[in-house]
Amino acid sequence: MKIKCTLRKVRLNQGGYDSRGSYWGSGAPLWWCTPDGGELQFDEYLRAPTREVAKLMIREKYKDHEITFYN
């Protein structure tokens, strides 16, 4: 099954909080991923050093699906 996903970097302030006030702490950049419709539904947050690594992590987790990403 082909799935197209949105993958965005979550901006955190110096204290580790996002714009909504949720605390994420510090460390590797935080990424948010969700599919654009379809049968597969998830709302995934993950830490990865780059967007490319985050893509690899999502593809590995959902390896039964052909996942692509918006630019």
Q: What's the rounded Cα separation, in Å, for the pair 34 and 15?
A: 25
- The pLDDT score that the predictor gives to residue 60 is 97
User: Which strand ranges, in their side-by-side order, compose the sheet holding 44-47?
Assistant: 44-47, 30-35, 2-10, 66-69
Q: What is the pLDDT of residues 10-69, one digit of tens each?
A: 999 999 999 999 999 999 999 999 999 878 899 999 999 999 999 999 999 999 999 999
- The pLDDT score that the predictor gives to residue 11 is 98
Neighbours of 25 (CB within 10 A): 10
